[in-house]
Chains A and B, each alone.
Chain A
Amino acid sequence: MPAATKTETSASHQVLSSDQPELVLPPAMISAEDYSRLTRPQVYATIPVVISPGDPATLFQRLPQPPVATVANRSQPEARHLPKGVLDAPLIGVGAVSTTPHLVPQMRRRKQDVVEALPSSEAPRWLGILTASQRGSTLITLLLGAGVLAIYGWSVYSQRTWSQAYRQLSDLQREERELVAASETRKQQIAQQAESPKAGLVRQVPANIIFLPPETLQPQVQPPPQPPAIGLVSSPMGY
């Protein structure tokens, strides 16, 4: 109930009527803009806002405020007891029907509040480029990393293959050496055996060689007609 909430305030505090701007901030946190706005004489029609006990706005307490001299109070004799400077300083709400109480951080949202637009959402160009390049370089890094792994694996594999091939090469070279040595030794043994009289071999002499004189060129002679082939031999041929 509206009346109930309003009784929460302290006795010395002047509760203003509900038709005054109720945006309140502690004096240190108010911006100059807001301050100038608030000190302008304005009248608002306000709608009473109910603050339930669970509202977060109730987390904030209202700090005791120094008594504020209003226009109505100025003429009163208590006003003269105020120190000199108080009246000189711009009083919040002087000359205005509305004055704001120093209600510290109880924020009340109002639909009429103009929500000032934040600075432009378009990022500056250099930032865009930076982000794009970061994304691109991440991709490149991943690709390169995959490539590094692949190449490393391939290099290890090729080294292993080379080592095996080298072992094979030295084995083959060894075998070749042994083969040559064995064959040459065998040749020598055979020649020695051939020389011994037990082998029953005779030395080759020109008398055992047939020399055929090469044929001189002659005109092509038709070969004589072939005799008819002998009938197929059923038994295997032998000599």
Chain B
Amino acid sequence: MASSVSQRSEAASGATDQTPRFRLLLVWAVLILGELGLVWRLIYLQVIAAPALRRKADSQQLMSLRPFSARRPIVDRNGNVLAIDQSVHTLYVHPFLFKQSPEGIAAQLAPLLHRSPVDLARLFKTAKSGIPVAYALSDQVADQIKQLRVDGIELNPQRQRLYPQGELAASVVGYVNTEHQGQAGIEYSLQKQLEPLARSAKVSHDGQGFVMPDRVPAGLLHADDRRLQLTLDTRLQRAARTALKQKLAHYRAQRGTVIVMDVQDGSLLALVSEPSYDSNHYSKADPELFKNWALSDLYEPGSTFKPINVAIALETGDIQPESVFYDEGEISVGGWPIHNNASSAPRGLLSVSEILAVSSNVGMVHIMQQVKPSVYYDWLMRLGIGKAVDSDLPFEASGQFKGKEQFTSYPIEPATTAFGQGFSVTPLQMAQLHAVLANGGKLVTPHVVQGLFNQAGQAVWKPSLPTQQIFSPTTTRTVVSMMGNVVEKGTGKPARISGYQLGGKTGTAQKAAGGYYTSARITSFVGIFPLASPRYVVLAVADEPKGEDAYGSTVAAPVVKSVIETLITLEGIPPSKLLEVQGQAKE
């Protein structure tokens, strides 16, 4: 210091002119250097280190905002919810972050979780971090836990699917697993339509924890209000299930199904398959139940297939509605014996209508012998026998049918096909084939999904459903009136409803196992209602009913009757007598 002072004074005394200038320059140089340093630092921070610094700032300041984006709900025809997402929370605990004693925290959590504090305290000692304590906590409980303000607690928000109807629609709706992916039913086959658009954004919070809107992207808050609407009617489904369960329990049958289909467009009003499972607790169910056996299992239709054969024969012109055939009771075709179900006694001359009414196998063989086997085969292929129905439910099985060579070479093949044995279809396909007769000859696609609708009721997406004309309306009208005769005078008498007219056909087929027909039966009944202008097809199938009196007419027909009665009350269908009276009054 002293030396610099002396230096300065020397300099001052020595060069009085240059010292101020030198000092000035020195100061200027120092300031300029400082400024350059600042400029360099600025460039470094803003340009070179900017990305890394921005990442750091974002990670500190921004949090991701994930509005609750739920999987779209599934509703039935009338808006009753069949599946809806709920917001639940999973509670995790990290004991190493505890500020209080584990026992104290356990005592605080125990009343909210409905567990004993001792259990919880023991649970907290098992690990240092990441202990799952409770699953599927509701929003209120989660809020209460958050208000405790305890360190070391983590609540993860999740979605949980709730099925309010439980077992009722499980065969149609299916279930989702823990990753919220559909595994069965509509949840599986329409996964894409059900999953909402993933929405999330990084947003900043203000001092009080409120979300600041400046970073929220446009459209994030538009709630996804679309829902998948089914064609099911829950009331009819419930009534059908009750009636079916009653009969299945009475005859100790293995399983059963009821299908109610609108013939004009193929929409299914009810699809019941028993036994069923609770979609909310799918883990406790037998995995065999996850596929709907109404469309994934094959069966030999038996006598219910006869009206379709008659329609084929009438359409080709090989028989007339007034044709008459002789029923011998027992015949031999290609070396194979064929006889009627009830007895082998001959019945004499029967008209086509009577053959259907008494369900004569021999009569049907005679009818179908009028049709050339190759023509017969082509008609069956046109109807889609041996192919899948292609509905919007998953895990569908395609029927089995012989090849053309075998069908045309061996006369026994068309003969057994004439009375509905020797090939297999699914119950849903059987309903579709009867809808062909009911709606004037159109092959419609059975479907459960009406479409994706928004809250305004507008359809955002609808499935594409092809139709195809197979028979002429005159043929089908003739066959349907013959089926009306079955119910009036034939085997379908148990299905009669006073004041109403319906057509139907019973079916009792023996199940084949190991190449032989066993004594196990599969009984079915199909009804077409109302007879004058058909609107609905109702099919009931019961697999392996036990007892001597277990036939289609005793097991399945009453089920169809009660389903049609419920249908009448739901839809308000006036009795046919009233319609006749009205028709007469108009004339």
Contact = CB atoms under 8 A, between A and B. Distances in A.
Of A177, A181, A191, A206, the most chain B CB neighbours within 10 A belong to A206
B427 to A, nearest CB: 24
B68 A188 contact: no
Nearest to B164: A184
Given A206-B500, A216-B585, A181 B162 contact: yes
Interface string B525-568: 00000000000000000000000000000000000001001101
A185 interface: yes
A239 interface: no
B210 A167 contact: yes
Contacts of B213: 159, 162-163, 166
A76 interface: no
Nearest to B73: A180
A164 B84 CA distance: 27
Nearest to B138: A178
Nearest to B166: A188
Interface in B74-107: 80-81, 84-87
A180 B566 contact: no
Interface stretch (B51-59, B283-291, B475-483, B575-583): B575-583
B68 A173 contact: yes
Contacts of A195: 238, 242
Contact of A178 (B139, B210, B214, B497): B139
Given A177-B86, A203-B566, A206-B568, A163 B139 contact: no
A195 B565 CA distance: 17
A170 B69 CA distance: 11
Contact of B164 (A185, A205, A216): A185
Interface in A184-211: 184-185, 187-188, 191, 195, 203-207, 209, 211
Contacts of B206: 159-160, 163
Contacts of A159: 206, 212-214
A185 B162 CA distance: 9
A204 B81 CA distance: 23
Interface string B190-231: 000000000000000010001111100000010100000000
A43 B557 CA distance: 155
Contact of A181 (B164, B221, B585): B164
B563 to A, nearest CB: 11
Contacts of A184: 80-81, 84, 162, 164-165
Contact of B575 (A169, A178, A211): A211
Interface string A205-239: 11101010100100000000000000000000000
A214 to B, nearest CB: 8
A174 interface: yes
A208 B242 CA distance: 20
A116 B221 CA distance: 81
A111 to B, nearest CB: 46
Given A185-B164, A205-B569, A209-B568, A163 B498 contact: no
Contact of B211 (A163, A188, A191, A207): A163
A203 B562 contact: yes
B132 interface: no
B457 interface: no
Contact of A173 (B81, B223, B239): B223
B164 A188 contact: yes
A213 B165 contact: no
A216 B584 CA distance: 13
B242 A170 contact: no
Contacts of B85: 177
A205 B578 CA distance: 17
A166 B211 contact: yes
A216 to B, nearest CB: 7
Interface string A150-161: 000000000110
Given A163-B211, A181-B164, A209 B223 contact: no
A65 to B, nearest CB: 32
Contacts of A170: 67-68
B14 interface: no
B569 A181 contact: no
Contacts of B211: 163, 166-167
A129 to B, nearest CB: 34
B499 interface: yes
A213 B67 CA distance: 54
B37 interface: no
Contacts of B581: 213
B84 A163 contact: no
A211 B515 CA distance: 54
Given A159-B212, A174-B139, A213-B581, A181 B566 contact: no
Nearest to B238: A191
Interface in B255-273: none
Contacts of B162: 181, 184-185
Contacts of B68: 170, 173-174, 177
B346 interface: no
Nearest to B65: A166
A59 B189 CA distance: 113
B210 A163 contact: yes
A41 to B, nearest CB: 46
Contacts of B242: 195
Contacts of A167: 210-211
Given A159-B214, A174-B87, A188-B164, A206 B497 contact: yes
A203 B239 contact: yes
B574 interface: yes
A181 B239 CA distance: 23
Contacts of B86: 177, 181
A177 B214 CA distance: 28
A206 B84 contact: no
B166 A206 contact: no
B84 A181 contact: yes
A162 B221 CA distance: 12
Nearest to A209: B569
A167 B67 CA distance: 11
A188 B575 contact: no
Contact of A180 (B84, B214, B578): B84
A177 B84 contact: yes
A53 B578 CA distance: 144
Contacts of A204: 565-566, 569
19 contacts: A159-B206, A160-B206, A162-B212, A163-B206, A163-B213, A173-B68, A177-B70, A180-B81, A181-B162, A184-B84, A184-B162, A184-B165, A185-B162, A185-B164, A188-B166, A191-B238, A195-B238, A203-B239, A211-B578
| Ranked 3 nearest A-B pairs via Cβ | A163-B210, A184-B164, A162-B213
Given A177-B70, A177-B84, 5 more contacts: A159-B206, A163-B212, A166-B213, A167-B210, A184-B162
Interface of B: 67-68, 70, 80-81, 84-87, 139, 162, 164-166, 168, 206, 210-214, 221, 223, 238-239, 242, 497-500, 562, 565-566, 568-569, 572, 574-575, 578, 581-582, 585
Interface of A: 159-160, 162-164, 166-167, 169-170, 173-174, 177-178, 180-181, 184-185, 187-188, 191, 195, 203-207, 209, 211, 213, 216
